[in-house]
Structures are given as C-alpha cells and as structure tokens.
Amino acid sequence: MKVDLVVNGLEGLIRMGRKTYDVAFIDFQMPFMGGIEMASLVRNHANARLAKTPLIATTGFAHYFESNPLVESNFDDFIVKPHTTAMVLSCLQRILLTKVRPLYPDLN
C-alpha cells in the first residue's frame, strides 16, 4: 500500500487529477480548500475516473456528517478523529470490498 500526503485541499485535488487513487481520505478542515469543497469538486469533475474515486471524510465532528445531506452525498464513508488503525482498516474494507473490479474486464 502506498500513501501520499498533502497539506491542503487544493494540493489534494491537483494530485488526484494527476494520479489514480483507490481511495482518498479527506480531512474536513484543511487550509486553502476544505474537505467539503474538495469532495464536491472531485464528484463533479469532468474526469470520470477521478469523480468515481471513493472518498472517506476524516473529522472530529461526526454529528455534522450525519446531519448534512450535501456532505453525505459527496463522501462514501467517514471516520472520526482520533482514529485508530483498526478504524481505518475497517473503513477501507467497507469501501474497497464493495467496489471490487474484475481481474479480467474483457472477459465479462
């Protein structure tokens, strides 16, 4: 598993446009561009590959995520900070196991 870190939402959006990611963890509160704005731009991006990237919110405010349909529609899941390794792995399993790609797509 490879992980890339960025310092703000704008850098994250640029990086996601240049490279394919299996999943993106996005913090709600980042400088220059917050996670909510970044997720909205990813979901509405012209590049279909980018727009379909699973997005996981990381936040200290679970109540905000659960009560905001706009936020829910842009993120596939969320984890609350401080998070543990077990929480991250559980979230990855939920997201990635539901989006399994065929090994040989031409045969399907």
pLDDT in tens, the chain (108 residues): 788 999 899 999 999 999 999 999 998 888 888 888 999 999 999 998 899 999 998 887 766 666 665 566 788 888 888 889 998 998 888 888 876 554 444 444
Helices (H) and strands (E) in the chain, counts: 6, 3
CA distance 59 to 82: 8
The structure's pTM equals 0.81
Which pLDDT score, from 0 to 100, does residue 104 have?
45
The residue whose two tokens read 């590049």 is 47
* φ, ψ for residue 18, nearest 5 deg: -100, -20
Tell me which of 3.40.50.300, 3.40.50.2300, 3.30.720.210, 3.40.50.410 is the CATH number of domain 9-101.
3.40.50.2300
Q: Sketch the domain layout of the chain as residue ranges.
A: 9-101
